[in-house]
Structure 1
């Protein structure tokens, strides 16, 4: 099993690495092409793809880093670093989006006709490159691969929108489509950035994961016959997917260590079914004073 898991990790890392270099290479082409065609919409999509390249780079780095075992310095492992990567990525995207909106505003008032033929070629290239990267990750098993695959599908839709806009401007005189597209893309980027920031701060501040119900934890644990009360229940997430629980279980009478082991095994199994990856259990009697509580 360990060998199989390691093989999947390596494959996941390889898929993300290929997608990263595809995206980064085309981002450079986009920036040059956006300046050449004088298209603010192309430059906006270049910013979007640059943000995706950052995300892919972080995903690739942490796909490698996640293979390292926990140590004395990082007892829970290295997964929390992905949140730091998300914060850095968000700052870059917010700064870039503000720049795009500032640049696009004058063009909304006085539209400038871009080089539409070049836009069409770049948009077709965007669909092909992002499509190739998405295809590479479409059969991925890891959460990293699935998240990146979804992002790449959104990129393809963005490029389809730019392609349609470029074709319309090529045959009809509607240059305002270019800055409108850029503002829409920037708005879409900011929407996702603030959504990701909210999730990141929820993790950093050790809030209860959105997909975990503390009430459900209590109900499931209390359903174990020997457990009479639940105290000091804390749950948080390392990276949005790896969840941790610390809990005190009060039992009615003194039990043998072997009996407590059975309760612990059952409780951890039930928590695993609720999406908790790491559960720490402390036992106490009903009359025992629980200091943290």
Structure 2
């Protein structure tokens, strides 16, 4: 992270010196990335804390919250850069292509190293950190391409044009990250696991007459959590059926955390239509 901070300053000063929007855009994103990486690291440490009396499910949602904030920051910063790029298209400015190429290349190497260091994590928080660094790497590549066009053809409009191209890519990534993390915060079903899949998986478990009141969500976007009611058949043994339900949920859907309410007769809360069998 210290390396990113150093090269953020270098690109910001260099972008101002050579009058390059592409470099300034990359510097702004690198500054946001440094903050995003710090936020991601803090969230990872917080999420490792054990459950408490106030946070009985633990602290896993800190990572999702960090991903949501990172996504919003990406969207807001990129929107501002698009406005400036459109202004530059309307009123092109002189750009020093030689130094622009050198500064962009050095910044690109720093971003590439950071991206390699972040490879492997699958949580929304880690995805968010990678997207920030990847956006910087794309920004450096665009700045290098723009510098080449300016040096070769004196085409100064390449600077804002390529900034717009990279901004469009970053907007798409930022939107997906914000949407996915908001889905988790709203306790939506994670990808690959739905209430209907849970009911289908339990349909042929011995002793299960019906599975209802099924809710599926996730704390961090990676590990599904399920609660449900299971109505037993007439001759079913509750303990054996409960074990069979947990095994089926684990083996068929990869669910490690499930809370199952066993019912020998009708639903415990028959006044709630969503709790009725079926």
TM-score category, normalised to shorter length: 0.7 to 0.9
Mapped pair 1:212 → 2:193: yes
**Residue number in structure 1 paired with 2:161:** 180
Cα pair 2:142 2:163 within 8 Å, conserved: no
Distance in 2 (CA, whole Å) between partners of 1:222 and 1:259 is 16
**How far off its partner does 1:88 sit?**
2.8
**Residue number in structure 2 paired with 1:274:** 253
Q: Under a length normalisation based on structure 2, what TM-score does the superposition of the two structures give?
A: 0.86
**How far off its partner does 1:225 sit?**
1.8
CA displacement 1:42-71 (0-9 Å, x = unmatched): 111222223332332222112222221111
Mapped pair 1:48 → 2:21: no
Cα pair 2:217 2:224 within 8 Å, conserved: yes
Q: Alpha carbons of 1:65 and 1:141: their partners in 2 closer, same or farther (altered >3 Å)?
A: same
Matches within 5 A, 1:64-213: 64-138=45-119, 140=120, 143=123, 148-149=129-130, 152-153=133-134, 155-213=136-194
**How far off its partner does 1:252 sit?**
0.8
Q: Alpha carbons of 1:276 and 1:36: their partners in 2 closer, same or farther (altered >3 Å)?
A: farther
Range 145-154 or range 211-220, more displaced:
145-154
**How far off its partner does 1:285 sit?**
2.3
Distance in 2 (CA, whole Å) between partners of 1:265 and 1:257 is 12
**How far off its partner does 1:188 sit?**
2.4
- Residue 222 of structure 2 is aligned with which of 241, 257, 260? 241
Cα pair 2:207 2:237 within 8 Å, conserved: no
Cα pair 1:48 1:189 within 8 Å, conserved: no
Mapped pair 1:221 → 2:227: no
Q: Which runs of 5+ in 2 are unaligned?
A: none
Distance in 2 (CA, whole Å) between partners of 1:211 and 1:265 is 18
SS of the counterpart of 1:282? Answer: strand
Cα pair 2:207 2:235 within 8 Å, conserved: no
Distance in 2 (CA, whole Å) between partners of 1:228 and 1:208 is 24
**How far off its partner does 1:146 sit?**
6.7
**Residue number in structure 1 paired with 2:40:** 59
Distance in 2 (CA, whole Å) between partners of 1:288 and 1:89 is 43
**How far off its partner does 1:151 sit?**
5.5
CA displacement 1:95-129 (0-9 Å, x = unmatched): 32232222222210221121212211111112211
**Residue number in structure 2 paired with 1:4:** none
SS of the counterpart of 1:167? Answer: helix
Distance in 2 (CA, whole Å) between partners of 1:137 and 1:46 is 20
Cα pair 2:223 2:255 within 8 Å, conserved: yes
**How far off its partner does 1:160 sit?**
2.1
Aligned length: 271
Range 205-214 or range 174-183, more displaced:
205-214
CA displacement 1:120-167 (0-9 Å, x = unmatched): 1111112211122233344x4664657645654554344223212211
**How far off its partner does 1:256 sit?**
4.4
Q: Under a length normalisation based on structure 1, what TM-score does the superposition of the two structures give?
A: 0.82
Cα pair 1:44 1:185 within 8 Å, conserved: no
Q: Which runs of 5+ in 1 are unaligned?
A: 1-19
Cα pair 1:228 1:286 within 8 Å, conserved: no
